[in-house]
Structure 1
Amino acid sequence: MPEFRTVFELLQVGEAERPAIRAPERAPLTYAALRALAERTVATLNGFGIGRGDRVAMVLPNGPEMAAAFVTVAAGATTAPLNPAYRAEEFEFYLTDLKARALILPEGFESPARAVAERLGVPVLTLVPETEAGAGSFTLTGGTPGRALNLGYAEPEDVALVLHTSGTTARPKIVPLTQTNVTASARHIGATLELGPQDACLNIMPLFHIHGLIAAVLASLGAGGAVICTPGFNALKFFAWLDAERPTWYTAVPTMHQTILARAERNAEIIARAPLRFIRSSSASLPAQAMRDMEAAFGAPVLESYGMTEAAHQMASNPLPPRPRKPGIVGLPAGPEVAIMADDGSILPQGEIGEVVIRGPNVTLGYEANPEANAKAFHDGWFRTGDQGMLDEDGYLQLTGRLKELIKRGGEQVSPLEVDGVLSEHPAVAQALCFGIPHKVLGEEVGAAVVLREGMQATERELRDHVAKTLADFKVPRKVVFLAEIPKGATGKLMRIGLAEKLGVTA
């Protein structure tokens, strides 16, 4: 893989006339045009008094302009992408917390962010697409002339991207990721997937999320390949995009894969016509059965990987053939060093269960202005992920659950992932999510939310008996709730914490 330590250096990799950014029914943006756009964007921001280290919030819908804005603004400032679906109060919190120096909004886009920014005195820059110039090309208007303290292109230690952790109960924490962090992660993903100029990723992930930004956009561009930017996940359009765009791979969260899988059989001709080199899954646990079904439907290897915001996405991944991929296991360390830590801070041997810890060039140096969180998160140079797991005899990482999501029933600990996996093996189950139900005596009881396959049936008793064949009695769900859809977060991740309350399930 080529060496690069900043986003601007990463953009120099691709051959001038090759497509860098593509989009359905749009002419592609070449690498030469993308590099020129980066130079123009940095000069424009500098002219508005925005330079290295200054934070530019972005509220842009998924598509080529969002991808282009992310990489070109990151070339000379700090990007802060926000979910366009936020309400006014949320925009107020994030813009204030980020100390944003500017907000980018697309031309003609109705968003409460505009009024919030004006009230807070944050300058609004309007992104105007240049539709004739190739997918993603744009100009920025509306800023007032100013003098930036740090002009030009970002240095390796400068912050490229700031994101908030998705706090389940506590206030979200700011994760600053340096140019070195994000480019190291792009390089790691490129090496794992053996990406090259011939590759094109179909991006269906939201681009306010680390998974889409780093795995789909930055890793593709860092390998000199292309990213095909769709308006976002749409199961009804996915196969048409596959047919028209002929990507070599796509990356998504398990809920998206499972929705695509449900429509694969009726689109078998397209799958045969537009073969994929591989499929990547990350950001949540992919049930082993879903992986096997995907591989059968697409005739391509499915690589489950393990990522988190604090690691600029990728930490471990299953490798490409001929090396083995293990269903239900997140693979080999793929970038940072990965170890398992005991409660006392010592590193455990292979085969022992403890907390997954990481260290490496892609790992954040710490949460912003949060000494308490940093004291908990870092130990002896290692970042504590909050995930529990073990390294098997081949060095593959097996996760047993989020430490805060483990169900503590009486004196026993139940790994929700283990129960999810067993439920997912039942032929009638399309999706399963195990969760804790508060219990006066035991502390917690085990519950499960299940989505059945189309046209199939199963009773609560049947599913409980199915789990009891494999797992100890204390792990068998006491309540099984049948749903048409399991509640998901903004990025498509299933919401385990607080699910009992949300569904009104009591012990």
Structure 2
Amino acid sequence: MIWQAFLARAAEIPDRPAVLWDGGRLSYGEMVATVRARAMPLPEAGDQGAARVLLTQAEPLELLLNLLACWSRGLVPVILREGRTAESIADLCRFLHPAARMDGAAVTRIGPQVGEAPPRSLGPRDEALVICTSGSTAAPKLVALPAEAITRNAAEISARLGLQPQDRVAVPTPLTYMYGLMGGAMSALWAGASVRLFGPAAPPTEIQAALRSEDLTVLQGPPSFLRLFLAYWNGQPFDGVRLVTTGGEQMSQDLPRQLNAAFPACRLEYLYGMTEAGPRISHRRIDPDAFVEGNVGHPFAHLDWRIAPVDTPGLPAGTGRLLIRGPTVFLGYICADGGYEGLDAEGYFHSTDLVRADADGTLHYVARLDRLFKSGGKLVNPAEVEAVLLSHSAVAEARCIRQAHPLLGFVPVAEVVLRDGSSSVVADLREHCRAALESHARPRQIEVRSDFPIAPSGKQAISPH
């Protein structure tokens, strides 16, 4: 289903650039040939259902080619975030039962041979992609998305953004995140546009130079990236960019006008959603002179949604938990027994976003129900950080909270209480976190305390930063 749609698009425009990177390019026709060659060592899916393949290469071009290679065989790619240890990958294999692993163009068979049947075509409700997201517990969750979540959202996003075949879309967001993968690369390819990929460590000045020298017309990135981008801006406007699309986290009140100064000829579009929604839920065009913080627009028509009341004091009237269901909502989180969980009996996903709605159906994001927050557009799970700190032999107690940051929005900071007899080991704890956490989740500051004070509620409190 996904591969067939890409083939149909490539047949219409075989010579048009599909993907661009620093020093290279592939046309749509060349990309099809490259993907087919890369898929040859992969096992056949046959009719056995979801045959999964672990993708351990986070470099964007390699990841994109490997995704398409899996889909061309009817296989299910499992996107692993950077920084995965051999032990964590082994743990995943025990319940995902992957057929193979891809690292760049190298394919390693893991499971038994699956037969010699021709590649199957993924049906609309077949599992088509597994991707990690942080949950409300210490362990990241594996989100399983159906094929129609990929195709329908790619079509919906490209239509809402008005992407055109002549566009060249700059995608600096990592493709290991659904915002980069779907909000950038897949929606651009669906429109027949060219995708300009950047490495995960590309500096803003490199992206700015590419916008000018390569005639890029669209820039995609979360608000934290755009703030960093503007911090390195030399004041010369980017007149060739017609569209800036953002999402993945809240926008500050001043950002739209700052973007309007840097991109005077552009339209500014905001997409709101979450990985479990495949990933888009709603869309809005932003007027820099009439920006309303928290307004995330109207939900897409193919989604059913409602707001469930919550027992949380201090929220604006009408605020509740957003529930959604529909063809682009995930199948569920993958369980250790191979099944799915995460949808109620009516098929609704109970998100952790607290929202309210106007009479016309416009959604306003208010807060999260859990402790998760975003740093530089990437989700940080404080419970995961705390679990890593507590796994160190010197740590008796640990707390992680968010601290405001002018460019990244928020960053994680931590406090620890050491076990009796342990000396101050901040440098050791930093190295411990470096080995176990992705860079955005590592505490920017670790403070050693003698104990945690008791708040009036009777719970332990964390000192403010």
Contact kept in structure 2, 1:50 and 1:147, CA below 8 Å = no
**What pairs up with 1:238-277 in 2 under 5 angstroms?**
238-264=207-233, 266=234, 268-269=235-236, 271-273=237-239, 275-277=240-242
SS at match of 2:103: strand
Contact kept in structure 1, 2:253 and 2:291, CA below 8 Å = no
Residue 334 of structure 1, CA deviation: 3.1
Is 1:173 the counterpart of 2:141? The answer is yes
Q: Distance in 2 between matches of 1:325 and 1:6?
A: 36
Q: Distance in 2 between matches of 1:297 and 1:237?
A: 16
Residue 32 of structure 1, CA deviation: 1.9
Q: Distance in 2 between matches of 1:11 and 1:221?
A: 11
CA distances 1:286-321 after superposition (whole Å, capped 9, x unpaired): 222223322232223332221211111111111377
Partner of 2:295: 329
Contact kept in structure 2, 1:205 and 1:251, CA below 8 Å = yes
Contact kept in structure 1, 2:2 and 2:151, CA below 8 Å = yes
Contact kept in structure 2, 1:62 and 1:229, CA below 8 Å = no
Contact kept in structure 1, 2:220 and 2:246, CA below 8 Å = yes
SS at match of 1:160: strand
Is 1:72 the counterpart of 2:69? The answer is yes
Q: What is the aligned-residue identity percentage?
A: 23
* 1:450 aligned residue (398, 401, 404): 404
CA distances 1:185-222 after superposition (whole Å, capped 9, x unpaired): 11111111011211221111112111111111111111
Contact kept in structure 2, 1:159 and 1:176, CA below 8 Å = yes
Contact kept in structure 2, 1:354 and 1:388, CA below 8 Å = yes
Q: Distance in 1 between matches of 2:244 and 2:254?
A: 15
Is 1:226 the counterpart of 2:172? The answer is no
Contact kept in structure 2, 1:338 and 1:359, CA below 8 Å = yes
**What pairs up with 1:102-251 in 2 under 5 angstroms?**
102-106=100-104, 122=110, 147-148=115-116, 151-232=119-200, 233-251=202-220
Is 1:36 the counterpart of 2:33? The answer is yes
Is 1:317 the counterpart of 2:283? The answer is yes
In structure 2, give the amino acid aligned to 1:105. Answer: D
Q: Distance in 2 between matches of 1:50 and 1:42?
A: 18
Contact kept in structure 1, 2:149 and 2:329, CA below 8 Å = yes
**What pairs up with 1:489-500 in 2 under 5 angstroms?**
490=438
Q: Distance in 1 between matches of 2:210 and 2:292?
A: 29
Partner of 2:308: 342
Instruction: Point out the more displaced range, 321-330 or 396-405.
Output: 321-330
* Pairwise CA RMSD: 4.1
Change (3 A) 1:324 1:10: farther
Residue 448 of structure 1, CA deviation: 7.0
Partner of 1:88: 86
Residue 99 of structure 1, CA deviation: 1.9
In structure 1, give the amino acid aligned to 2:216. Answer: P
SS at match of 1:181: helix
SS at match of 2:42: helix
Q: Distance in 1 between matches of 2:304 and 2:260?
A: 27
Change (3 A) 1:381 1:499: farther
CA distances 1:87-119 after superposition (whole Å, capped 9, x unpaired): 3333333343432211111369xxxxx9xx8xx
Relative to the length of structure 2, the TM-score reads 0.72
In structure 1, give the amino acid aligned to 2:191. Answer: A
Contact kept in structure 1, 2:355 and 2:363, CA below 8 Å = yes
Q: Distance in 2 between matches of 1:61 and 1:122?
A: 20
Is 1:399 the counterpart of 2:357? The answer is no
Q: Distance in 2 between matches of 1:10 and 1:59?
A: 23
Q: Distance in 1 between matches of 2:304 and 2:261?
A: 31
Residue 152 of structure 1, CA deviation: 4.1
In structure 2, give the amino acid aligned to 1:356. Answer: L
CA distances 1:49-95 after superposition (whole Å, capped 9, x unpaired): 99963111112132323222222322321111212322333333334
Partner of 1:12: 8
In structure 2, give the amino acid aligned to 1:202. Answer: A
Q: Distance in 1 between matches of 2:154 and 2:27?
A: 19
In structure 2, give the amino acid aligned to 1:71. Answer: L
Change (3 A) 1:390 1:17: same
Q: Distance in 1 between matches of 2:324 and 2:248?
A: 16
Relative to the length of structure 1, the TM-score reads 0.67
5+ residue gaps, structure 1: 109-113, 124-143, 345-349, 407-415, 421-432, 437-446, 454-486
Q: Distance in 1 between matches of 2:305 and 2:446?
A: 35
Change (3 A) 1:50 1:230: farther
